[in-house]
Amino acid sequence: MQRYGKIVLEAEKGITFDVSEGTSGELIIRALNIVSNNVYSELPTVSAGEYAEVLSVYTDNNGNRAVVPEGWTVSGVPKENIIWGIDVGLVIYHIPKEKVSGINWQDSDEVETLMRTYDQFVWTPVGLLTANGTLDGIHFNEKFGRMNYRNATFSKSAFHEPLVGELLSQKESVDKYGGYYSSRYDISKDKETGKPRSVKGADSWTNIDFLTAKEVASTMVKSKTVTSHLMYGAEYDTREKWVIESGTVTTKEIAEDSTELGNYYNNKNYPSRIVKTGEDGCINNIYGFAGNVDEWTQEWNSSSCRVIRGGCCNYGGNYCPVAFRIFFSPNDGYGCTGFRATLYIK
């Protein structure tokens, strides 16, 4: 094979490239900043540490962009406002407008207080991913969709997720804006108000049945432009693809053995019990990505059962890695099963 002294990459204005080494020693060159339309050019801009008055667009230091819902603030912590890279991710906080201007994002103690006080969501940059997922259960040609990391069979007689209603709307939103936000932590229950929260240092909301989890997730965020819902299997798997393709973890760690990624009983760094949110493993700024509690999703199997994803502290990370699927009755709650919320941006 001929060796070249120089490689020239050409692209339209506004497109950048990320060059990294793959897990098998290959050189990966990925085009970044691709969105299906010009929606970003129509929105006002917001900077790191700034409150979004209306639906806005944020551009990080690498030129990658994401939308920010009105009423939310982009983190001022450098690791939390980079969209693409190893162990980074864009975090938004639901901080009241009058409190934002006085925040010192360089003060780690103040940031710790913010993490324990205000809801946080993390952006999954779907537009930067490769197309190897499925929504119809047959054709693996979607950037946003379910993955078969553990050779899952997707069909009406196995695991399925009808592309209708809420999921169809979410697919259209992802195509429009290039990504979606999901809760940074497993959802907890505020001790005073009983409302769902995505904050650090709380007890994951477990012993909750699927139908109740779905209803609770839908109440978390509700405005004219943004609503929340219980995470779908397609959203769960697309997050998996993101952390793999960003170079933070390997496919093997997600699909075969997640022991070292989080709170499993065979990870000696944890106490063989559920720990509070934010005290478990963190991947791309998402806590509890592996272990601690597993999570309800809106994916089905052939019966009326619903699919629980990932593993928990009662099992080993080699038996129940992040990509693990299992189904249970939607009418029952389980001591190590929680849930997450995802945002739909209109």
| pLDDT mean over 179-192 | 97
DSSP label at residue 231: P
Q: What is the pLDDT of residues 279-324, one digit of tens each?
A: 999 999 999 999 999 999 999 987 889 999 999 999 999 999 999 9
Q: What is the pLDDT of residues 53-79, one digit of tens each?
A: 999 999 999 999 999 999 999 999 999
User: How far is 100 from 97, CA to CA, in rounded Å?
Assistant: 6
Task: Report the pLDDT value the prediction gives residue 303, as an integer from 0 to 100.
Answer: 81
Percent of the residues in the chain that have a pLDDT greater than 70, as a whole number: 90
| pLDDT mean over 327-345 | 96
pLDDT-derived band at 252 (thresholds 50, 70, 90) equals very high
- Find out whether 287 and 278 touch, Cβ atoms under 8 Å: yes
Query: 286: which 2 tokens?
Result: 């998402």
Q: Is the pLDDT of residue 31 over 60?
A: no
Select from 74, 125, 126 the least CA-distant residue to 95.
74
User: How far is 324 from 319, CA to CA, in rounded Å?
Assistant: 8
Q: Is the pLDDT of residue 189 over 70?
A: yes
Task: Report the pLDDT value the prediction gives residue 22, as an integer from 0 to 100.
Answer: 46
| pLDDT mean over 79-84 | 98
Helices (H) and strands (E) in the chain, counts: 6, 19
User: How far is 45 from 50, CA to CA, in rounded Å?
Assistant: 10
pLDDT-derived band at 330 (thresholds 50, 70, 90) equals very high
Query: 329: which 2 tokens?
Result: 């009755």
User: How far is 273 from 292, CA to CA, in rounded Å?
Assistant: 8
